[in-house]
Amino acid sequence: MKPVADRLLIAGVGLIGASLGLALRERGAVGEIVGLGRSAENLRVARRRGAIDRAERDPARATRGVDLVVVATPVGTIAPLVATLARTLPPTAVLTDAGSVKGPVVAAVERALGRTAARFCGSHPIAGAERAGAASARRDLLQDRRCILTPTARTSATARRRARALWAAAGMRVETMAAARHDDLYALLSHLPQTVATALVNAAAARDNGRALAYAGSGFRDLTRIADSPTVIWRDILLANRAPVLAALAGFGAACERLRRALAAGDGAAVARELGRARRARRRIETPRRAPARRTS
């Protein structure tokens, strides 16, 4: 396989960044991988596991000779970090990110890059786990998962091509989508579930001074698994995508209200309709039709 980069910089070697490094290294898809981060311990773990070849905590040192950059930090830090990296990046280096909110993040990054915004292409690899950090990374985390690119009118063909090649080399199925549509979809499919799981655990924890949770079965545990996700990461995601998340919560509230009214009325047929509608829709997730990835260039 032709390397996607001679020297790749992964800024933020957490779950996604380290998993990307492991996948690329396993496939021989990259030359040197440089990891940039604030935690010396996390960088040591990433290097020991083979996710990166060299660890740096100084952005100026990390950017030397780099030709491709992935910023895999929390969404609130992506644009400020890009602004810092851009000061010392080689002029031909291409940048992408791994943020799960795209509209405001891409706009902020393009403002930070100014006249050089063409070399950035937004990305969102749809993968994750509850635990963060390089210690939780897996070389197969990205395999056969979807990655969405969100180029704008300012994004160059080179940036789109290289971002696509990067994630494809890690085993992902890559497609393109407008940032606004991405944010609406993932407010519903990712950010809403996080808020629902959070609220459900908090509601249960408020019963009997938290003693009710001792009786939780597998259904409750499965449904609320993601409530154990990193707090700061999800705080930033929910705030960055606030309007679409609020719209998703309104839709969820309407669905809850339909079921509440049916129960209040003792209407068995209406309750069955809600349960059956959900059951049929849920089964479509288990057997998705694999659509071919669409080219961006």
**Rounded to whole angstroms, how far apart are CA atoms 152 and 154?**
5
Instruction: Give the total residue count for the chain.
Output: 297
Task: Please check whether residues 68 and 159 belong to one and the same domain.
Answer: yes
Which CATH number does the domain housing residue 30 bear? 3.40.50.720
Same domain flag for 204 and 151 = no
If asked whether residues 160 and 40 sit together in one domain, one would say yes
Q: Is residue 296 part of a domain?
A: no
CA distance 247 to 250: 5
Does 70 lie in the same domain as 139?
A: yes
- Would you give per-residue pLDDT tens digits along the chain (297 residues)? 788 999 999 999 999 999 999 999 999 999 999 999 999 999 999 999 999 999 999 999 999 999 999 999 999 999 999 999 999 999 999 999 999 999 999 999 999 999 999 999 999 999 877 678 899 999 999 999 999 999 999 999 999 999 999 999 999 999 999 999 999 999 999 999 999 999 999 999 998 887 889 999 999 999 999 999 889 889 999 999 999 999 999 999 999 999 999 999 999 999 999 999 999 999 988 654 444 443 333
Last residue of a domain, one of 177, 199, 231: 177
CA distance 128 to 196: 18
pTM of the model: 0.88
Residue 55 CB neighbour total at 10 angstroms: 18
Same domain (yes/no): 21, 139: yes
Q: Which residues pair with 68 in a beta bridge?
A: 8, 94
Domain count, the chain: 2
> Same structural domain for residues 202 and 281?
yes
- DSSP letter at 12? S
In a domain, 270, yes or no: yes
Domain match, 56 and 200 both:
no
Q: State how far the Cα of 215 lies from the Cα of 104, in Å rounded to an integer.
A: 41
Sheet strand arrangement including 54-56: 54-56, 30-36, 5-11, 68-71, 94-97, 120-125, 146-150, 173-176
Residues 104 and 168 in one domain: yes
187 and 157 within one domain: no
Identify whether 19 is part of a domain.
Answer: yes
How many DSSP H helices and E strands does the chain contain? 12, 8
Evaluate whether residue 232 is within a structural domain.
yes
Residue-number span of the structural domain to which 127 is assigned: 5-177
